[in-house]
Amino acid sequence: MKQVTDNTLAEARKVIAVHINYPSRAAQRGRTPAQPSYFLKPSSSLSLSGSIVERPAGCELLGYEGEIALIIGKPARRVSIEDAWNHVEWVTASNDLGVYDLRSADKGSNLRSKGGDGFTPVGPVLIPADAVDPAGLRIRTWHNSEVVQDDTTEDLLFPFARLVADLSQLLTLEKGDIILTGTPAGASVAEPGDVVEVEVSGAEFATGRLITQVAKGSTPFGDFGAQPTADDVQREEAYGSREAAGLPAMLSALSPELKRKLESVCTATLSSQLRKRGLNNVSIDGLTATRPDRRVVGLARTLRYVPNREDLFRTHGGGFNAQKRAIDSVREGEILVMEARGEKGTGTVGDILALRAQVRGAAAIITDGGVRDFSAVAAMELPTYYANPHPAVLGRRHIPWDTDITIACGGATVQPGDIIVADADGILVIPPALAEEVADESIAQEREEIFITEMVEQGHSVDGLYPLNTEWRTKYQEWETARAMPGAYPAQAASTDRSTPQD
């Protein structure tokens, strides 16, 4: 082991950073990349442990991200994954600092937001790469002495050797080049006066704490370039969540009042109203409910399984995979909808994960595949809609592939944020833009049907009554008026003779 020095920094001709690589960060961001993606940081952004970094004047969002840095020891060009780790000489800690106020000026490049002087501190100690297990490292970050990030490299989306091999396909990684390998969940914002520390450790080695102090810049940006700007979107991204940023919760497409309306009407009524608007293919078909006595209303979160292919299952099936991320991030009142292609030959959820969804406050789970541990799942308060029980694990037929995307379930297309309504009659997918209108019209329709039911009970023919013709609509309106009067019996307003059925 040796110390990071100015010479170490001077040898780096390139600094390459990975966007998302830790499952915890992917879950926090709500997106899981299928392949790694990268951005460049200038070598002038490198600094040593103990450095002071400025938050530029006029900016409020200096984000920090604890990362593991790889330092290339010998050139790598078109190397294989199997050979890639041999080209890495050192492992150390880094802090990928960036100013979210300048992201709008970058058009995705991260040059201004991530490239400031001192924005890539590394060190303080270099660990020989051949002395560590790249899948057995731990990274921790402290913000003002409080641990805010703590994760391992066991379940990375893209192992380190894959990153080196992938980058070498197009460009030569030279001796001294530095690769920042992504940050776990917990990255946030540092204020002037704060101290951020990052440490990487293995079974027998540790980098020691990489210390960065934050100072307030005093030199304003000139008017000949892009100016810093921050909005709530950037604040949420920088802090990791709206709650952490001190922002009010987003207004949901499913307000409490709309939810109450949808809970008050049957899916059969909602279906007829959707059909009037040309939507005939919005029912999730062929499933059975563990709690058919319940009417469920919630916003859709989605999870897609693809057919099992053994090589892809090795990269996507284990660890904190898409299935676990979806269940571990579902929020109160949401409904997790799974696309399993109608495959009944294996399970898609079992008792432990169903329990986790219930603890998270999920309103329901819907899958057009099988359910394992069926007796335990069926005994839960959480309603689950399923194709059939099956004892096999999902790896028999499925790979958990992606979350929060448009999927197909039970013959219906479901998008994240769609409103799901389910009862004993079935499951409907309601576009949020139509939900208020459909709910109000369904309530009105069911009031009419109460009147029609009473008239049928009194012996009237359904001809002209169902649906209401002009004469019966007039009587219905009279019934409605009387129904609203205190003490009135609704059926009195119809003033019809039971012995003479009306048309």
> 422 with 295: CB under 8 angstroms?
yes
Report residue 315 as tokens.
Answer: 């990269």
What are the CA-CA distances from residue 11 to residues 2, 5, 7, 95 (Å)? 15, 10, 6, 18
Give me the sign of the Cα torsion angle 418, 423, 424, 425: negative
Chain CA centroid to CA 253, Å: 17
pLDDT tens readout for residues 369-398? 999 999 999 999 999 999 999 999 999 999
Give the per-residue pLDDT at 444. 92
* Rounded average pLDDT over 457-461: 94
Top-confidence residue, 43 or 499: 43
Q: Which residues contact 231 (CB under 8 A, 6 or more apart)?
A: none
Residues 404, 405, 409, CA angle at the centre, nearest 5°?
100
Pairing of strands 364-367, 384-386: parallel
Give the per-residue pLDDT at 487. 57
3-state secondary structure 113-152: HHCCCCCEEEEEEEEEHHHCCCCCCEEEEEECCEEEEEEE
Give the per-residue pLDDT at 320. 80
Structure-token match 């934050």, residue found: 214
- From CA 380, how far away is CA 198, in angstroms rounded? 42
Give the per-residue pLDDT at 108. 77
Structure-token match 């059926």, residue found: 491
pLDDT tens readout for residues 402-419? 998 999 999 999 999 999
Residue 243 pLDDT exceeds 60: yes
What is the average pLDDT score of the chain? 92
Give the per-residue pLDDT at 499. 32
> 397 with 307: CB under 8 angstroms?
yes
Q: Is 427 exposed, middle or buried (0-12, 13-18, 19+ CB in 10 A)?
A: buried
Report residue 84 as tokens.
Answer: 């890639």
- From CA 34, how far away is CA 473, in angstroms rounded? 58
The one-character DSSP state at 49 is: T
> 100 with 113: CB under 8 angstroms?
yes
> 367 with 398: CB under 8 angstroms?
no
Top-confidence residue, 248 or 474: 474
* Rounded average pLDDT over 422-435: 94
The one-character DSSP state at 346 is: S
Closest CA to 464 of 496, 489, 493: 496
Report residue 103 as tokens.
Answer: 């992201």
- From CA 390, how far away is CA 331, in angstroms rounded? 27
Q: How confident is the model at residue 251 (pLDDT cuts 50, 70, 90)?
A: low
Closest CA to 59 of 221, 213, 233: 221
pLDDT tens readout for residues 91-108? 999 999 999 999 888 877
Beta bridge partners of 299: 334, 419
Report residue 350 as tokens.
Answer: 């079992």
Tell me the percentage of the chain whose pLDDT exceeds 70: 96
Give the per-residue pLDDT at 486. 66
- From CA 402, how far away is CA 32, in angstroms rounded? 7
Single pTM value for the model: 0.59
pLDDT tens readout for residues 157-177? 999 999 999 999 999 999 999
pLDDT tens readout for residues 32-90? 888 999 999 999 999 999 999 999 999 999 999 999 999 999 999 999 999 999 999 99
